[in-house]
Structure 1
Amino acid sequence: MQQINALKELLATPKKIMITTHHKPDADALGSSLGLAGYLKKKGHQVQVITPSDYPSFLNWMSGNEDVLVYGPKTDAKARQITQEADVIFCLDFNHLGRINELGEYVRVAPATKVLIDHHLQPDTFADIMFSDITAAATCEIVFDVIRLMGEEHLIDVPMGECLYAGIVTDTGSFRHASTTRNVHLIIADLLQTGIDICKIHRNIYDSYSEKRLRFLGYVLKDKLQVVREYNTAYIAVTAQELKDYDSQTGDTEGLVNFALSIEGVRFAALFIDRTEAVKISFRSVGDISVNEFARNHFEGGGHKNAAGGISYLPLVDTVEKFVDLLPLYAPQLTK
């Protein structure tokens, strides 16, 4: 309650508020940001959401999307000014300032009070007020709980509720991951009570593929999927040229790693994407296999126990070779 009381005091009078989230925001990152923004605007605050990069077009339907400032060379000066002038900066769905690229240094030196709302492991300590819950299924779940603890759940309307639902449904894998708790379902029940249209949300997120994205998916599953049965592992490696060939857009590779994990018997999956400047990696696992530890130990990454990310500055071929060579070290966990 100490953190809630501190937040109540902080928000007792109108403030200039900035909200930011991690690089390449997903539904939980953007949904929590826009959901929180809607709540804060209702309380009379001046709010600006700034994302450190662009995000998938299938998230553009979210209420408030049209007002988001996407950071880049052309918006650098404006983003820096907003950050510097903010009274409060909310940091959502990331636990280290390195996850917001150039914005990280701006936030670090800003005089604003920093508020962290996040559910990833090993949070950094840059924030003045922290709502960090690694057992939460999504940052949207924590945002809902914070609003409820503030005694203002009644302020959650349909636009806000749809943003929060989107983050929860995607981060729980449509409620099939182990993080789907009783609290998650109770929150969804409350969001449904506001009148949100879950059919519309699902169509916007899952049924809005471009033709090129669908053909890219088919190509990847047919020609790029590799299965290492000896270690119950599957992986996909996509080259920069293949991304270019299929005119890949932001969000087109999202969820690919889950197809690898969906193979019967597979307990560990990885997706390697050559982004030219570096190889971005997604890891997924089931059971007691901690991809968070794997990513932290070998690929400068981290995240959740069963879902994490990493990065490699080696060429794609060498990165994949390093990954495969590591598998024997984890044989006891992968083959039991």
Structure 2
Amino acid sequence: MKALFPKNLISCWNQAITQSAAIVLATHVNPDGDAMGALTGLGAFLRQQGYRVTCVCPSPYPDFLGFLDPGKDILVYTCHKEKVLKAVDKADIVVAVDVSGLSRMEELGSALSESRAFKVLMDHHTDPVTEDFDLVFSTTRVSSSCELIFRLLHAWKPKAVFSKEQATAFLTGIITDTNQFANSVYPETFHAASIMHLWGADSETIFSQVYQNFTLNRMHLMGYALQNIRILPQFGAAYIVLTRDVLEAFDYQNGDTESFVNFPLAIKGINVSAFFLQRKDHIKVSLRSKGAIAVNGIARQFFNGGGHYNASAGKMEDAPEKIEGLLKEALGTVIA
């Protein structure tokens, strides 16, 4: 398999980790399938190598991803702050996965930045905050952080045998971050996925856990979202807004709106989709596009975020009445 990173970076990783015993793995707020797959897959692999590993999420993960953490071993910072801080204090290495910088971990990121541990980044997003880390493994030429970590581990330990648990975790990240192999897929992505199948990962089981494991309230919320898609025909765009009162009415749980941003792209003539989710003190923004329309620039310029060419995210002030005007202004910079 083609190497993603030069041998000197692999050697730096090997040198750092062979001098370590305790490792903390952490990811971004509101972890998705790629974050959870990277966290649990890498964690299981490192434990297999004899390391003491603590996996940490800044906030709770969605229930439908719980199959990746059957033993409930992941520490959630907002629920187990003292345990997390104790693990960070004792860590020799901190590895941030599927996150471009420590700030995306909010309060947990501040704690990690103060740690004396050797800090490593493993991520596939644009604009990594390299100054946060001592060693950086970052490229956008992969489908997901799970693919990146799989290929990194393969380069580090080419004769290692990966377990079914690890293969399942990594394949979950690839499936979810590519929207079921629809976006950001490269030839090596399929190669990696095929190897994961050989290790025992079952894509049918993953699909059932991730996409066929919803509550009735979540399905009703999906129906509401579909009925309330708003079209901006002059831009070939559409968007969905879910306010706090709507979320409360459908008993919203973390992760219930996963993939909602993709719905409008199924409409003929729609090439850009935006999804606005009103949180406690801000509005979360998700952006998707087809073809040559870049949304990472408008995420960065208008929504305090960033991401990939066709898939980005950000946030805006807690003002739903400003959504359409701001979105039109943003789209006007990329669509004539």
What TM-score do you get using the length of structure 1 for normalisation?
0.95
Identity of aligned residues (%): 31
Relative to structure 1, the CA distance from residue 163 to residue 153 in structure 2 (aligned partners, 3 Å threshold; closer, same or farther) is farther
Structural RMSD (CA): 1.3
Classify the secondary structure of the residue corresponding to 2:125.
Answer: coil
CA shift, 1:12, in A, is 2.0
Letter of the 2:202 counterpart: D
Q: Which residue of 50, 57, 61 corresponds with 1:51?
A: 57
Which stretches in structure 2 are left out of the alignment for 5+ residues? 1-6
CA shift, 1:103, in A, is 0.8
Relative to structure 1, the CA distance from residue 250 to residue 204 in structure 2 (aligned partners, 3 Å threshold; closer, same or farther) is same
- Spell out, residue by residue over 1:152-197, the C-alpha distance to the aligned partner (whole angstroms, 9 max, x if none): 45331100000000000111111111x2111011111111111222
- Contact 2:55/2:74 (CA < 8 Å) preserved in 1? yes
**1:263 correspondence with 2:267:** yes
Relative to structure 1, the CA distance from residue 260 to residue 247 in structure 2 (aligned partners, 3 Å threshold; closer, same or farther) is same
Letter of the 1:297 counterpart: Q
Relative to structure 1, the CA distance from residue 82 to residue 324 in structure 2 (aligned partners, 3 Å threshold; closer, same or farther) is same
Which stretches in structure 1 are left out of the alignment for 5+ residues? none
**1:162 correspondence with 2:205:** no
- Spell out, residue by residue over 1:281-321, the C-alpha distance to the aligned partner (whole angstroms, 9 max, x if none): 00001112111110101110101111011111141111332
CA shift, 1:38, in A, is 0.5
Q: 1:9 aligns to what?
A: 15
Letter of the 2:190 counterpart: H
Relative to structure 1, the CA distance from residue 329 to residue 198 in structure 2 (aligned partners, 3 Å threshold; closer, same or farther) is closer
What TM-score do you get using the length of structure 2 for normalisation?
0.95
Classify the secondary structure of the residue corresponding to 2:201.
Answer: coil
Q: 1:90 aligns to what?
A: 95
CA shift, 1:101, in A, is 0.6
**1:239 correspondence with 2:246:** no
**1:118 correspondence with 2:89:** no
Q: 1:191 aligns to what?
A: 196
Counterparts of residues 306-325 of structure 1 (less than 5 Å): 306-325=310-329
Q: Which residue of 70, 73, 77 corresponds with 1:71?
A: 77
Distance 2:17 2:112 in 1: 19
- Contact 1:14/1:44 (CA < 8 Å) preserved in 2? no
- Contact 1:118/1:133 (CA < 8 Å) preserved in 2? yes
Distance 2:71 2:28 in 1: 16
Letter of the 1:89 counterpart: V
Classify the secondary structure of the residue corresponding to 1:283.
Answer: strand
Q: 2:287 aligns to what?
A: 283
Classify the secondary structure of the residue corresponding to 1:154.
Answer: coil
Q: 2:41 aligns to what?
A: 35
- Contact 2:28/2:98 (CA < 8 Å) preserved in 1? yes
Letter of the 2:243 counterpart: T
